[in-house]
A and B are shown apart, each in its own frame.
Chain A
Amino acid sequence: GQSLEQPSEVTAVEGAIVQINCTYQTSGFYGLSWYQQHDGGAPTFLSYNALDGLEETGRFSSFLSRSDSYGYLLLQELQMKDSASYFCAVREANQAGTALIFGKGTTLSVSS
């Protein structure tokens, strides 16, 4: 089967840097995605890593190490609006192979 582990909660202050880790166990790995969901809102896509290394998009970066079955989302210069839940996700390794399996999510609380 497939499983993903991520911390349930993370707290930080405005302007700080926070890292949300995700470890995964899969029978076949294609890549790791990250999604953001504000309270009451729909999840929105943030980033995707298929290869090892760091991908940067503005204040957000995502890292993948395939050998360690590990990735993280790095949020820099935190703002209050970054308070949200963050989910990592991997592609389901079944015959259809089009679905994603999501972690349980990490709730990030940013305080002033």
Chain B
Amino acid sequence: DVKVTQSSRYLVKRTGEKVFLECVQDMDHENMFWYRQDPGLGLRLIYFSYDVKMKEKGDIPEGYSVSREKKERFSLILESASTNQTSMYLCASSSTGGLYEQYFGPGTRLTVT
């Protein structure tokens, strides 16, 4: 079974703090993704990566950056957290041969106060 894990289920940070969200997958998938999910807005793509050290902006990259130094790990960074970044953050991965089937992690509920 594919397993995607995220470093925290719940996180509370203060405005202005630097925040790191970690995601690890164990199926040797080439592609990894970060989404945020807000009520009524569905899943919005922040960044994705199709190879180590490669990254592409999604629909809402402002205020975020990412890092992919190893194939299995994809990190989302909030350089200076703001209250409007309070959200559920979901990581996902997929293989190049299975682009339509993404495997999601359990999510990190981030609250910025």
Interface of A toward B, CB cutoff 8 Å? 8, 30-31, 33, 35, 41-45, 48, 87, 89, 91-92, 94, 96-105
Give the Cβ gap from B1 to chain A, nearest Cβ, in Å: 12
B45 on the A face (CB < 8 A): yes
User: Does the CB pair B104–A100 fall under 8 Å?
Assistant: no
* Interface residue range, chain B: 20 to 34
> In whole angstroms, what is the CA distance A42 to B93 when docked?
13
Closest-by-CB residue of A relative to B103 is: A45
B41 surroundings in chain A (CB, below 8 A): 104
Out of A30, A43, A96, name the residue touching B43 (CB < 8 Å).
Answer: A43
User: Does the CB pair A91–B99 fall under 8 Å?
Assistant: yes
- Interface hits, B73-112 → A, CB 8 Å: 90, 92, 94, 96, 99-107
B61 on the A face (CB < 8 A): no
> Chain A's interface: helix, strand, loop or mixed, by majority?
loop
User: Does the CB pair B99–A104 fall under 8 Å?
Assistant: no
> In whole angstroms, what is the CA distance A102 to B44 when docked?
7
> In whole angstroms, what is the CA distance A41 to B106 when docked?
6
Q: Mark B32-70, 1 if CB is under 8 A from A, else 0.
A: 010100001111110010100000101100000000000
Out of A42, A94, A100, name the residue touching B100 (CB < 8 Å).
Answer: A100
B96 surroundings in chain A (CB, below 8 A): 98
B31 on the A face (CB < 8 A): yes
Q: Known interface pairs A43-B90, A87-B43, A104-B40. Does A96 touch B56 (Cβ–Cβ under 8 Å)?
A: yes
Out of A8, A30, A91, A100, name the residue touching B40 (CB < 8 Å).
Answer: A8
Please name 16 further chain A to chain B contacts, defined as beta carbons within 8 Å, in addition to the given A42-B104, A104-B40, sorted by A numbering. A8-B40, A33-B100, A43-B92, A43-B104, A45-B102, A91-B100, A94-B56, A98-B30, A98-B48, A98-B50, A99-B31, A99-B48, A100-B102, A102-B42, A102-B44, A105-B43
Query: What 6 pairs between A and B have smallest CB-CB spacing?
Result: A104-B42, A42-B104, A102-B43, A48-B100, A33-B100, A45-B101
B103 surroundings in chain A (CB, below 8 A): 45
Q: Known interface pairs A91-B99, A98-B48. Does A42 touch B40 (Cβ–Cβ under 8 Å)?
A: no
